[in-house]
Every structure is written in C-alpha cells, then in structure tokens.
Amino acid sequence: MGAASFSLNARDGKARCGVISTPRGDIRTPAFMPVGTAATVKGMLPENVRATGADVLLGNTYHLMLRPGAERVAQLGGLHKFMNWQRPILTDSGGFQVMSLASLRKLTEKGVTFRSHIDGMKYDLTPERSMEIQRLLGSDIVMAFDECPALPADRTRLNESMQLSMRWAQRSREAFGDRPGHMLFGIQQGGLEQDLREESAKALTEIGFDGYAVGGLAVGEGQEAMFGCLDFAPDQLPEDKPRYLMGVGKPADIVGAVARGIDMMDCVLPSRSGRTGQAWTRRGQVNLRNARHADDPRPLDEHCSCPCCQSYSRAYLHHVTRSKEMIAGTLLTWHNLHYYQELMEGMRAAISEGRFASFQTDFEAEFGSGDIELL
C-alpha cells in the first residue's frame, strides 16, 4: 500500500485549499465528511453519497464496537466492504461518544469503563483498544483516543483533562505503530484557554501526527466562543498537516472555520435535519413541515441540481414529510448533503482563485436573506 500525504495547493488569508492523498483516493480540502454512524449515512446509498461530492465518510467507533462489533466487521472484510464504500473512511476514537451516550462511565488513567446504551453490557475503552478497533474496522484516518470535557468547565478541570489526553495521545501513537497508507490524527484540547491549547499543540507536535484535530469545540459553547477559539487554535498547529474541526456544523460555522484555517469538518446535521423535515439551502434553513409549502409547485431550490430539487416540488416534500414517508428523509438528506458539498466546492474554488473574502461576504448575505417569497 502506498503512503498517505497532504499537500497544500493554495492559501487565501488563513483559508487553505489542498488534497489529502490516500491509497483509497484523494480527499479535496476544505472537506466536509458526512457521518455514517452505524456503517450507513442514514437513508442514502453509498453511491448516492459519493455523487453529492463526498470524498470521505466518518464512522463512529463507539457505535460500531457495540454493534455489530469490530471483530465481526474485520471478519467480514472490513468496514469499506461491509458498508459498500470503497473510498477513504475516518473513524473517531470513541471517547467523545462514550462521554455523551454511555452510562455508568468510570474514567481512570488507563481509560474508560462504561455500560452500552443498547444492552447495558460492560466495556473497556483505552487508547490501545481504540487503536485496535479502528485497525479492525480498516479506517484510513484514525483518531487518537482523548477525553473531551463538556463546556463550560473550570481551568483546573480543563488542564487536567488536556494533560490526560496528551498522555493518551502518546499511547495512541505507540499503539498505532507504523501503518503505511493510514494516517493517525492527534487531537488538541484545552477548552477556550489559549495557553492550554498552545501547550496541547506543542505536546502533540512533539509526538508527531499525520494531521491534527481541534477537539473539544461545538459542545455547547456557541458560535461566538467557538470562532474566538478558532482565531488562535489552528495557528498553533503545524502548517503542513491537515487540520480537522470535529463535529461542525451549520453552514455558517463551516465557512467561518475555513476562514480561520480549518481543512476538514464532519457533522450529522445535513442527514439528521433531513430526517426531521429540515432543509439547508443557499437562503438558509427551510422547514418543509410548514403549511406554506402545501400548495407550492416550485422546487426547494430552483438553482440546485440534486435529484430532490430536479424532480420534486415543495408541495410533495411537505406531503411526504407530514406523512412520515421514508422517501422524505432520503430526498431531504440528499439535497442537504448536495448543498453542503456544493458549499465546499465553492470555497475550494474561491480559495484557489484568491477571492475567499468576497465569497464569504456573498455567502453570508444570501444565507441571511431568508427563504423565497410565498407564491
């Protein structure tokens, strides 16, 4: 297997455009990764997710280790084969979801013990086990195992947690070993504290990773605080490696993060919103459950080339959403993923052509303009 690498092709202000090359294909950055939590992007066939422009999917270690189990996936030929997605997959380390989903968690220096939210079975998750699970799944981009404290948290707690995550980062690096063609990303912690973030970045850089995530954000601190932290956090990380902001976000969060030097993002929002009748368009969020769409023969977005907008009216989307038809989630997820990928493509082109600032201004004006007028 060949090596995996990252090359930067263009810079515009702090925004960057590049390519992560892996043996399973290239990932164009800035990249948005749809979330395939339980080995599926809910309601979508993999080839259709690919057709929206996605180069890489995210899989969740926590969910997959509980069901169907990492050893079973490995036995069946790995996650790519299992879920019929042959392009790159990034997996998280499981740490964040243990903290948000599992019960009876016990945190020690060694790792986390918890009970499954599915059947109450007891599990251990350590840096070593997380690396093993992600290897069994066959993940192309592996995340170091870390601890993510909920915000707000006091400085003492943030510092202790960050120090623990750095010791776990070292153990993750050792357990990952040398795996050509696969990448291991470290995760910066430190809450909103600039000096803790700096210390974390130094510790990670010393260990040496193939990419670096800004962790511990998008956990309820709000956009202003998140952007405040992103004004310095990405600058503390190595310039020649990809920078990944985990769990973000809404379209405006994504554009703001790219403007601050972030290269990769993931979020359940386009697919989760799609399943609850919410669409994201160039003109902001649209709720298809709203009665104003009941007689509207127009597409969701007349300028969108996705199958949902090409062939279905707002009236139909309103009807299938209200009737809880399966196709409602599929059509709206399809549109949302298409919109997100088009936004990424627009940013990559703007950065390459040195016009990112005007792209951002136009995006904000149009996004804030609200949905089209009633007929």
- Contact residues for Zn ion, defined by CB under 5 A: 304, 306, 308-309, 335
Point out the catalytic residue in the list 140, 253, 263, 266.
266
33 φ, ψ to 5°?
-105, 115
Contact residues for 242 (Cβ-Cβ < 8 A; gap 6+): 6, 18, 20, 29, 185, 210, 211, 212, 263, 264
Q: What is the closest distance, in whole angstroms, from the C-beta atom of residue 306 to Zn ion in the complex?
A: 3
Contact residues for 83 (Cβ-Cβ < 8 A; gap 6+): 36, 39, 40, 46
Cα separation, 340 vs 360, whole angstroms: 15
Cα separation, 126 vs 310, whole angstroms: 48
Contact residues for 130 (Cβ-Cβ < 8 A; gap 6+): 61, 93, 94, 95, 145, 172
Active site includes 92? Answer: yes
Among 113, 79, 120, smallest CA distance to 98 is for: 113
Q: What is the closest distance, in whole angstroms, from the C-beta atom of residue 370 to Zn ion in the complex?
A: 18
Q: Are 241 and 6 in contact (CB under 8 A)?
A: yes
Cα separation, 171 vs 234, whole angstroms: 23
Q: What is the closest distance, in whole angstroms, from the C-beta atom of residue 289 to Zn ion in the complex?
A: 18
Q: Classify burial at 26, counting beta carbons within 10 Å of its beta carbon; exposed 0-12, middle 13-18, buried 19 or more.
A: middle
> Which of 188/281 has CB closer to Zn ion?
281
Q: Which residue has the tokens 């399966």?
A: 326
Q: What is the closest distance, in whole angstroms, from the C-beta atom of residue 36 to Zn ion in the complex?
A: 21
Q: What is the closest distance, in whole angstroms, from the C-beta atom of residue 304 to Zn ion in the complex?
A: 3
> Which of 215/274 has CB closer to Zn ion?
274
Q: Are 61 and 130 in contact (CB under 8 A)?
A: yes
Reduced to 3 states, what is the DSSP secondary structure of residue 158? helix
- Report the relative pairing of strands 264-267 and 112-115 from DSSP bridges: unpaired
Q: Which residue has the tokens 């009748």?
A: 277
> Which of 187/306 has CB closer to Zn ion?
306
Point out the catalytic residue in the list 92, 296, 301, 371.
92
Q: What is the closest distance, in whole angstroms, from the C-beta atom of residue 247 to Zn ion in the complex?
A: 24
> Which of 65/306 has CB closer to Zn ion?
306
> Which of 29/333 has CB closer to Zn ion?
333
> Which of 293/335 has CB closer to Zn ion?
335
Number of H helices, E strands in the chain: 15, 16
Active site includes 178? Answer: no
Cα separation, 211 vs 143, whole angstroms: 9
> Which of 312/356 has CB closer to Zn ion?
312
Cα separation, 171 vs 180, whole angstroms: 19
Q: What is the closest distance, in whole angstroms, from the C-beta atom of residue 343 to Zn ion in the complex?
A: 12
Q: Are 182 and 172 in contact (CB under 8 A)?
A: no
**What residues act catalytically?**
92, 266
